Amino acid sequence: MDIRSTFIKLDEKFSRFGGLEPRGITRLLYTDEWKAAVNALIEEFDNNGLEVVQDSIGNVSGKLVGVNSDETILTGSHIDTVVEGGHLDGQYGILAGLTAILYLKEKYGQPKKNIEVLALAEEEGSRFPIAFWGSKNFFNIQDNEIVKGLTDSEGVNFVDAMRQSGFDFRTDDSVRNDIKAWIEIHIEQGQVLEKEQKQIGVVTGIVGFKRYYINLKGEANHAGTTPMGYRKDVVVSFSEIVQRLNQKAKEIGDPLVITFGKVNLVPNVTNVVPGEIEFSVDTRHIDEKELNHFSKIVEDTIQEVATKNGLEATITLHLDEQPTLMNEEIIKTIEDSAKEVTSGNYKFMVSGAGHDTQIFSQFVPSGMLFVSSIGGLSHNVEEDTDIEDLVKGIEVLAKALYKLAY
């Protein structure tokens, strides 16, 4: 069996669910496109002799049953996409897992432990304002009460959409105890591997992040009649905050990042000194202590600049996610596999984006690996990865699964 042609065929087939052209794949939870992809996966597993495992909310997996069927090595990713996404985010993790299993099955026959590839129903939070619906249901930690109140952008209720699609809340409380390891392969969605010309990223952890919404209130004044000394200009204070925190983040160094992605001025007209600004601060680090330390600097700097300039600052911590460290043994297994397959052309790195793996790592030994994203692009129809790198990724995954299951 040829990994490259098998993967290409699968990728072409599944990229049609939600359409790729002209603006990308839109395959949102419990839509027709999503359901068609799930059904095609079930058929694919079945046709390839994998045992199909389903739950009531739409997670589905294909299992190559091992000699000892009480222990499972699990791989996979999510089958939903963002609106107008690319063909690799999530989908690659599922199809790479399936390809790896078919390869291992043909080459080595029945494994000692089960090897199972899982398509999680939802990770992106693109249709309803909730993420990790798939992985949280897998471990029975979802909050059914919260989703009952959710509607999508067209006003469709979450529960109605789920039921119309043929699915429903879980009715059992069981959690599988056969999972001995989880490995997710994903595109990097950043430029590090490409810029450093590495084929594989061995993920050591997923960063934690804090997201703030900041409001500064100064005084709106006429841009012509208000001398500089009489102003309470929120844009000038915002700029000082950005300059100081950006400088400080660079001094502290990688993997710390800070982003001011959203800025809204009031009244936002050319001839008025702006009297109010709202902006977001997103800061991430893999080390919880470092993240807390820098977040304190963020809060203190904003307060200090506001006070100095006579502004009123409101600092709201909107999201606060802890960092997730990967399992040492799984990291080692992936590293050994990457070393063999790529002749050492890999690097350890952290994931700056969230992934299903952060849910899995709470329950089972977990690991992740990345392949390079061309131009760092993702969540976009232009998202792509060189086929050589996609194949190397599957080879590393297959080797890691082999080490764990045979």
Picking from 170, 83, 183, 180, the residue whose alpha carbon sits closest to that of residue 133 is: 170
* Under 8 Å between Cβ of 6 and 102: yes
Q: Which of 189, 357, 358, 385 binds a second copy (CB under 8 A)?
A: 189
Q: Does 130 bind a second copy (CB under 8 A)?
A: no
Rounded (5°) CA angle 304-310-312: 75
Q: Which of 68, 69, 268, 362 binds a second copy (CB under 8 A)?
A: 268
Q: Does 228 bind a second copy (CB under 8 A)?
A: yes
The nearer residue to a second copy, 96 or 203, going by C-beta atoms, is 203
Q: Which of 163, 195, 293, 308 binds a second copy (CB under 8 A)?
A: 195
The nearer residue to a second copy, 164 or 268, going by C-beta atoms, is 268
Tokens representing residue 312 in the block = 């009123």
The nearer residue to a second copy, 19 or 376, going by C-beta atoms, is 376
Picking from 106, 315, 309, 318, the residue whose alpha carbon sits closest to that of residue 211 is: 318
The residues in 346-385 that bind a second copy, with binding defined as CB under 8 A, are 351-354, 376, 378-379
Q: Which of 230, 292, 362, 382 binds a second copy (CB under 8 A)?
A: 230
Q: Does 342 bind a second copy (CB under 8 A)?
A: no
DSSP reduced 3-state for 212: strand
How far apart are CB 368 and a second copy at their closest, in Å?
13
DSSP 43-110: HHHHHTTPEEEE-TTS-EEEEE--SEEEEEEEEEEE----TTB-SSTTHHHHHHHHHHHHHHHHHH-S
Bridge pairing between strands 200-206 and 346-351: parallel
The residues in 29-88 that bind a second copy, with binding defined as CB under 8 A, are none
Q: Which of 39, 153, 164, 239 binds a second copy (CB under 8 A)?
A: 239
Please give the size of the binding site for a second copy, defined by CB under 8 A. Answer: 59
Whole-angstrom distance, CA of residue 317 vs CA of residue 138:
29
Q: Which residues contact 138 (CB under 8 A, 6 or more apart)?
A: 55, 59, 118, 120, 176, 359, 360
Whole-angstrom distance, CA of residue 252 vs CA of residue 87:
36
Q: Which of 2, 106, 143, 254 binds a second copy (CB under 8 A)?
A: 254
- CB under 8 A: which stretch of 37-45, 163-171, 191-199, 327-335 binds a second copy? 191-199
Tokens representing residue 32 in the block = 């027709």
The nearer residue to a second copy, 13 or 195, going by C-beta atoms, is 195
Question: DSSP assignment, residue 374?
Answer: G
Q: Which of 21, 224, 289, 343 binds a second copy (CB under 8 A)?
A: 224
Residue ranges at the known binding site for allantoate:
211, 271, 284
Burial of 251 (0-12, 13-18, 19+ CB in 10 A): exposed
The nearer residue to a second copy, 71 or 80, going by C-beta atoms, is 80
Q: Which of 110, 226, 303, 309 binds a second copy (CB under 8 A)?
A: 226
- CB under 8 A: which stretch of 18-26, 36-44, 250-258, 391-399 binds a second copy? 250-258
Picking from 253, 252, 284, the residue whose alpha carbon sits closest to that of residue 358 is: 284
- CB under 8 A: which stretch of 102-110, 159-167, 243-251, 396-404 binds a second copy? 243-251
Residues that bind a second copy (CB under 8 A): 188-192, 195, 207, 209, 211, 221-230, 233, 235-236, 238-240, 242-243, 246, 249-250, 254-265, 268-274, 280, 282, 284, 351-354, 376, 378-379
